[in-house]
């Protein structure tokens, strides 16, 4: 049985320019204990997808259609109190920028303790003790001291570790990691990613890793879903997708990765054009204006079909 099944998820933002279709009829599945990489260019709907799963889409956005089944329950049908019991306890999210996600006027210990007192009925004293243990488990030195410090007193890498400690406090079944290393330098990125992988493996949690870094996905994810203009255009096992990408967009993303042996003088491969405005999408295949393989059939939108077992793609020309 799938841990997470998303069917036809559609999230819109109503703006003066028009209706922005940030997530458009999205279908996605994830099994327990697996890591799914959600990739695509900036603005393609990755973060909004993660927020939609937890029904946390900020105004003027709203979920207009779809189902999000988690452990057999449709999260979009739950009452506010019911979904609050799932956030942080069964599903946790690691946000992209911890300095804006953490409350600047509360100590990091109090913020971790709040998760524990809310979901595990721990006393404040017990929760603060567990918070210190969690800080130690994510590699923060002198946790008994750090637990009383405020976010601005910590480095970027430490703040991200605090976010991870909060996310794993209740041992959730699913973690949504939204660009968890974007604001960090390369060395700290490697430490954070290794920590996430270790925790995910030890606790057996599933994870959706939102990123635009294909190298990260190749190393850390079991399977990959590629998004373009609010829709999944390809999903497959990681090894299979990198060996044989079928959608022209996926092929372009992989081709743009610098290859070993290339020098600084080597011209990087690019995908021509840019992502369409989500309030003014082209008819038919949304990638067609940038595709060198487009035909007359591309004037009609293709379905997401299974070409080989577990490998789905949204393209008329895929596999031909």
**Could you tell me if 183 and 153 lie in one domain?**
no
* 301 inside domain: no
Domain boundary among 118, 145, 169: 169
Domain identity same for 177 and 165? no
Domain boundary among 169, 197, 217: 169
- Digit-coded pLDDT (tens) for 158-177: 998 999 999 999 999 999 99
Q: Is residue 315 part of a domain?
A: no
For position 254, which CATH number holds? 3.40.50.300
Work out the pLDDT band at 180, boundaries 50, 70, 90.
confident
22 with 72, same domain?
A: yes
| Res 208 pLDDT > 90 | yes
Nearest to 88 by CA among 112, 108, 123: 112
pLDDT on residue 56: 94
pLDDT band at 197 (very low <50, low <70, confident <90, very high): confident
Same domain, 141 and 210: no
182 or 120: whose pLDDT is higher?
120
Residue, of 258 and 94, whose pLDDT is higher: 94
Could you give the CA distance from residue 135 to residue 147 in angstroms, rounded to a whole number? 8
Give me the mean pLDDT over the 97-114 stretch. Answer: 91
**Residue 237 lies in domain:** 4-90+172-275
Closest Cα partner for 168 from 145, 143, 202, 129? 202
- Single out the residue in 141, 169, 197 at which a domain terminates: 169
pLDDT score of 263 more than 90: no
Residue 292: inside a domain, yes or no?
no
> Within this chain, do residues 164 and 176 fall inside the same structural domain, yes or no?
no
Residues 131 and 164 grouped into a single domain: yes
pLDDT score of 264 = 66
Residue 238 burial (CB count, 10 A):
18
Please, what's the b/e burial string for 57-87 (b: 16 or more CB within 10 A of its CB; e: otherwise)?
Answer: beeebebeebebbbeeeebbebeeeebeebb
Mean pLDDT score of the chain: 91
β-bridge pairing 174-178 and 206-211: parallel
Is 221 part of a structural domain of the chain? yes
- pLDDT, one tens digit per residue, over 55-87 is 999 999 999 999 999 999 999 999 999 999 999
What pLDDT is stored for residue 318 in this prediction? 82
Whether 227 maps to a domain, the answer reads yes
**Could you say which DSSP state residue 87 is in?**
B
Query: Which whole number is the average pLDDT over 130-154?
Result: 93
pLDDT band, very low/low/confident/very high, at 193 (cuts 50, 70, 90)? confident
Do residues 151 and 200 both lie within one domain? no
pLDDT digits (tens, 9 = 90+) for 230-261: 999 999 999 999 999 999 999 999 988 877 76
- pLDDT band for 319, please (50, 70, 90 cuts): low
| 6-58 pLDDT, tens digit each | 999 999 999 998 899 999 999 999 999 999 999 998 889 999 999 999 999 99
Report pLDDT for 156. Answer: 86
pTM here is: 0.91
Burial of 264 (0-12, 13-18, 19+ CB in 10 A): exposed
Same domain (yes/no): 182, 252: yes
Provide the b/e sequence for 165-200 (b: ≥16 CB within 10 Å).
Answer: bbbbbbebbbbbbbbbbebbeeebbeebbebbeebb
What is the count of structural domains for the chain?
Answer: 2
**Domain identity same for 82 and 184:** yes
Percent pLDDT > 90 in the chain is 66
pLDDT computed for residue 189 by the predictor:
80
Of 95, 189, 195, 101, nearest in space to 151 by CA:
101
Q: Which residue has the higher pLDDT, 91 or 184?
A: 91
The predicted pLDDT at position 196 comes to 87
Q: Is the pLDDT of residue 262 over 70?
A: no
Domain membership of residue 18 (yes or no) is yes
Q: Give the CA count within 13 Å in the CB-facing half-sphere of 184.
A: 22
Q: Could you tell me if residue 246 is inside a domain?
A: yes
Q: Looking at the domain assignment, is residue 99 inside a domain?
A: no
If asked whether residues 150 and 212 sit together in one domain, one would say: no
239 and 180 belong to one structural domain:
yes
pLDDT of 287 > 80? The answer is: yes
Residue bearing the bigger pLDDT, 188 or 278: 278
Are residues 51 and 122 both part of a single domain? no
pLDDT bin (cut points 50, 70, 90) of residue 188 is: confident
């Amino acid at each position: 049985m799938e841990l997470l099944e998303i069917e036809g998820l559609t999230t819109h933002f109503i703006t003066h320019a028009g209706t922005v279709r940030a997530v458009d009829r999205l279908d996605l599945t994830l099994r327990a204990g697996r890591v799914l990489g959600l990739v695509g260019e900036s603005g393609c709907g990755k973060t909004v997808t993660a927020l939609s799963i937890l029904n946390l889409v900020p105004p003027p956005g709203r979920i207009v259609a779809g189902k999000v089944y988690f452990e057999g329950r449709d999260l979009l049908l739950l009452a506010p109190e019911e979904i609050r019991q799932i956030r942080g306890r069964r599903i946790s999210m690691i946000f992209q920028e911890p300095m804006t996600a953490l409350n600047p006027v509360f100590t990091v210990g109090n913020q971790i303790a709040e998760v524990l007192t809310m979901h595990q009925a721990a006393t404040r004293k017990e929760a603060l003790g567990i918070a210190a243990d969690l800080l130690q488990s994510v590699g923060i030195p002198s946790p008994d001291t750090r637990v009383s410090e405020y976010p601005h007193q910590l480095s970027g890498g430490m703040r991200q570790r605090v976010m991870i400690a909060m996310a794993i406090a209740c041992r959730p079944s699913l973690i949504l990691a939204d660009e968890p290393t974007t604001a960090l330098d390369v060395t700290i990125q490697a430490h954070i990613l290794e920590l996430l992988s270790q925790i995910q493996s030890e606790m057996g949690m599933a994870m959706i890793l939102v990123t635009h870094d294909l190298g990260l996905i190749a190393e850390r994810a079991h399977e990959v879903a590629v998004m373009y203009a609010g829709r999944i255009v390809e999903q497959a096992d990681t090894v299979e997708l990198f060996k044989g990408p079928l959608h022209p967009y996926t092929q372009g993303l992989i081709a743009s990765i610098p290859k070993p042996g290339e020098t600084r003088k080597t011209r990087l491969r690019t995908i021509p054009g840019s992502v369409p405005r989500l309030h003014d999408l082209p008819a038919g295949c949304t990638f067609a204006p940038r595709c060198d393989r487009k035909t007359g059939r591309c004037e009609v939108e293709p379905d997401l079909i299974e070409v080989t077992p577990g490998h789905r793609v949204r393209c008329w020309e895929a596999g031909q």
